[in-house]
Structure 1
Amino acid sequence: MAVAGQVGSAYWPGCSPAREKYVASFRSLISAMSMGKQGARAKHLGIPLSTLSNYWTGRRVPSAVTLGAIYDAVRRSAAAVPDQLEHLERLRKSAARRNARPVPPWESGDICAAERMAAATLSAPSAQPESGTCSPSGADPARRPALDRHSRENGKAGETARALRAAQSAGDRRGVIGIAWSASKSLTHGELSLAAADLYASGHSALGEALLLGGRERGHEETMRLAITLIRTGLSVQADLVLRAALPRGGGGQP
């Protein structure tokens, strides 16, 4: 059980067995620090709390250089830390391998499975696949590029939604803010809309708002594009919310 102020003990859902093994050793290293709260640990290590949270759950794996710096910082703060950097680095390499995690359908080429997953995520009726379009041999080759892109979008959106729910369950408010901010910079309008649809559909409206409103400021053109994408995804109310949030505060009212 994590002590007060730490992130939750659950692993990120995308962790492979190799990554879970590495994360267990990484947690053991971090837990050797003299301070008990995760925020204080992150400050001592010189990294954002959201980054430490991602390392703690296995959502991200640090580089060899970053791991070495973290290890040195821990040894400066702890009374006794075993000389295990070499062993930890071997586990890190295994955990960081792309093929060390389960391969999702949108990367494996299983277009039918990816399309079913995409349809389950979207709330818009137009997103449902036509019956009979998939066969054991895969989708129509003419539709494959669009399906591949659509499936990748759903994969990133689903990953973001799961990360936000995990951070909320762990009581990591700063983690929620960090994930929302990062997503607002890295995800496309389509991916943001799909992630928001996932959150609203699962009853996490507060997380949906955090995702759409808690990131960086958007210009007028970008706000309009996001609003249009939300409407196409079936989130008209959320599109209105995004537009209202972009209005200048104070003054400017109708005469």
Structure 2
Amino acid sequence: MAVAGQVGSAYWSGCSPAREKYVASFRSLISAMTMRKQGARAKYLGIPLSTLSNYWTGRRVPSAVVLGTIYDAVHRSTGAVPDQLDQLERLRKSAARRNTRPASPWESSDIRAADRISGVSTAPSSPSNTAPAQGPARDRRSSGNGKVRETISALVAAQSAGDRRGVIGVAWSASKALTHEELCAGAADLYASGYSALGEALLLSGRERSHEDTMRLAITLIRAGLTSQAELVLGAALPRGGSGHA
């Protein structure tokens, strides 16, 4: 066990080779900080020491947003970092995909949304690869809702600009500000327009969504005819294996 203010040096026993490669790069980033103690580093980064310890050993992989925030903080403290963010993000995505432990509902939602957004192109997806949306997309209910229109415009603009973090931030904010019906309508419009990755991001970015809110959103999607999207939301929230305890 690590002493106070320190973290263990060994990799977590569940690390895959891809995760070990990512962790080595992450450690190189953190070690570039002028602070020598992990406690001081964690304080500067604004995260608990236990969280930094989990990132350091590979027990947990941060989301794209968290990794970007850490990278920016290290850059501010040193003026230079050993690895570029895009390289770190590629390694992080590979490590997250090969996660060997059951992720919490919040981690699963964040990782899946970040991975989808990181890989999308600046152009809409091909309609042939996007399931036709039904319900709200058919009558375009979102066109009459200013908040939904603004959210869709902000998501598309961020993606077109290649602003991965901006997409994640807009989606996360929308998950807090929009009702279940508005989220459903916005996602339906995005899927119908060929922006399936953005529709998925909008639905999966509610990392603090309660079980009750998740069920209500899923029901709203099902009633709108968006069954596969409802399954996506439920799959991100349920423990791996899809079963829980009564």
Q: TM-score range by the shorter chain?
A: 0.3 to 0.5
Q: Kindly name which structure, 1 or 2, has the bigger radius of gyration based on alpha carbons.
A: 1
> Which structure ranks higher in relative contact order (CA pairs < 8 Å, sequence separation ≥ 6)?
2
